[in-house]
A and B are shown apart, each in its own frame.
Chain A
Amino acid sequence: MVYPEVRGGGWLTSTDGSRRELGVKEERDEILVRRVAESGDERAFSELYDRYVGLVYGAGIRYLRERTHAEDLVQEVFLSVWRGAASFDVSKAGFATWIYRITRNRATDQVRRRRSRVRTVGSDFPLEPEEVDPAGDLSRSFDIAAALSRLTPVHREVLTLAYMEGLTQREISRRTDTPLGTVKSRTTAALLALRESVSIIDGQAEDG
């Protein structure tokens, strides 16, 4: 098991200098997967699930074409995360890259299995992809998920409401009981923070 020190993991220093332990929702992926590996921490596993299940399930829908197969993919991927947490090596790649590779490999396995099994004479099968994520946009989205998880809760919330739930600025203002002007400036700040977070992840990928 290889777990180099992950900076910033475990504690948050507030403006008055006091320190408090980070809640599971604020922890970095790499800290959470270490908890899963070391003690089978189900809360840490649950948080990792929440952060990435949408993408794994979305990849299943896109590449396997059926919701039941996408659900199978989710089960396979997260079982692999649970079982393989001890072999995760943060010095080689971030968690997002690791779970992306698991997702791509499991989806590829399923595509091949189905291609060999589901062939009937004279029927029109849906065109299945030869390759999972040929353009790399799925990979990039896992990086974005990792970058989102590093934002502060308020920044993550404003982006999630806008992009995942499709709310307008005014709707976000009402939902969060926040002045509209604050929502607008917070949206800008959140996007800038996300850009910074993405560039850090990109830098780590280049170093790795």
Chain B
Amino acid sequence: MGEHRRVLDLLGPYVQDSLESGEEQEVRDHLRHCEACQSEERDLREVHEELSDFASLAEAPPPDLKTRVTAGLPRRGSSRIPLFAVAAAILAVLVFLSLLYVPDLFVQDTVAAATLEATELAPQAGGELRVKANDPNAQATLEVWDLPRTKSDEYYELWFGNGEGRISAGTFTVDAEGQSTLDMAAPERVGEYQRVGITLEKFPKEPRMDSAKVVLGGELQES
């Protein structure tokens, strides 16, 4: 095999810096006078660097993640039972259950609730908060009334708090009557929080839950 051909074959490991010293020196010597190999080496080095970037970004996921992903896929086209038969069966079951459990069938259980009491900042205001289990995240339904309308640079923020700190559950504004009813995402471990509060915040300042700005507050009671 000629030197040129041999060096060409070694250029891959060369750009990877994985040749032993003797071969590396041989390639280096050849590159000094071979323009074709110099060009090839530049191209290989470029793709080597892109591959290295790719390798540094990619991470091996937990082995069981694939099972979890595929288990969560909605099935389709795999049923041998006609769709209309499945739909009819489901409908029949729903009708039967609805006769037995109409009030409870479509209503998720409330796991915690709080009556929100006014502070002197909004003495007429009030509110109710209900937290429902809704896997994977709990959901909070908030209803407030008689809150002062916010200015263009203001908004309200709902907080869950405990002895260690507070966590935001989202922001909102109210209508012309000072009312709002909305669904918000509750903290993942909502059982760890005992208090809820609503503060008046102002753009662009970072929100703070100091007591001076709390317009509504209450204790979370487990249902």
Q: List 5 A-B contacts (CB under 8 A).
A: A57-B58, A75-B69, A184-B19, A188-B12, A191-B44
The interface stretch among B96-104, B106-114, B145-153, B203-211 is B203-211
Among residues 150 to 199 in chain A, which have CB atoms less than 8 Å away from a CB atom of chain B? Answer: 159, 162-164, 168-169, 184-185, 187-192, 194-195, 198
Are A191 and B47 neighbours in the complex by a CB distance under 8 Å?
Answer: yes
Bound form: Cα–Cα A188–B13 in Å: 7
Bound form: Cα–Cα A178–B122 in Å: 79
Q: A46-B70, A164-B55 are in contact. Are A188 and B10 (CB under 8 A)?
A: yes
Task: Give 7 closest A-B pairs by Cβ, nearest first.
Answer: A188-B12, A54-B58, A187-B12, A185-B9, A58-B59, A163-B55, A57-B61
Neighbour of B170 across the interface among A78, A116, A121, CB < 8 A: A116
Are A75 and B8 neighbours in the complex by a CB distance under 8 Å?
Answer: no
Among residues 11 to 47 in chain B, which have CB atoms less than 8 Å away from a CB atom of chain A? Answer: 11-13, 15-16, 18-19, 43-44, 46-47
Interface size on A, residues (CB 8 A): 56
Among residues 146 to 194 in chain B, which have CB atoms less than 8 Å away from a CB atom of chain A? Answer: 165-171, 185, 187
Name the residue among B8, B46, B55 with the largest chain A CB count within 10 angstroms. Answer: B55
Listed in ascending order, the chain A residues whose CB lies under 8 Å from chain B are: 39-40, 42, 45-46, 49, 53-55, 57-59, 61-62, 67, 70-71, 74-75, 78-79, 82-83, 113, 116-123, 137-138, 140-141, 144-145, 148, 159, 162-164, 168-169, 184-185, 187-192, 194-195, 198
B75 at the interface (CB under 8 A from A): yes
Are A187 and B16 neighbours in the complex by a CB distance under 8 Å?
Answer: yes
Encoded as 1 (CB less than 8 Å from any A CB) or 0, chain B from 50 to 84 comes to 11111101111110011011101111111000000
Are B168 and A61 neighbours in the complex by a CB distance under 8 Å?
Answer: no
Neighbour of B166 across the interface among A55, A120, A168, CB < 8 A: A120
Are A57 and B12 neighbours in the complex by a CB distance under 8 Å?
Answer: no
Closest to B68 in A: A75
Are B165 and A57 neighbours in the complex by a CB distance under 8 Å?
Answer: no
Q: A118-B168, A198-B47 are in contact. Are A71 and B62 (CB under 8 A)?
A: yes
Q: Which residues of B contact A140 (CB under 8 A)?
A: 50, 53-54
Are A144 and B168 neighbours in the complex by a CB distance under 8 Å?
Answer: no
Report whether over half of chain A's contact residues are helix, strand or loop; otherwise say mixed: helix
Q: Which residues of B contact A67 (CB under 8 A)?
A: 62
Bound form: Cα–Cα A7–B193 in Å: 58
Are B168 and A163 neighbours in the complex by a CB distance under 8 Å?
Answer: no
Are B72 and A163 neighbours in the complex by a CB distance under 8 Å?
Answer: no
Neighbour of A198 across the interface among B50, B68, B168, CB < 8 A: B50
Are B43 and A195 neighbours in the complex by a CB distance under 8 Å?
Answer: yes
Closest to A142 in B: B54
Bound form: Cα–Cα A46–B168 in Å: 38
Q: Which residues of B contact A187 (CB under 8 A)?
A: 12-13, 16
Bound form: Cα–Cα A144–B37 in Å: 24
B48 at the interface (CB under 8 A from A): yes
Q: A49-B66, A54-B60, A117-B168 are in contact. Are A189 and B12 (CB under 8 A)?
A: yes
Are B167 and A79 neighbours in the complex by a CB distance under 8 Å?
Answer: no
Q: Which residues of A contact B206 (CB under 8 A)?
A: 119
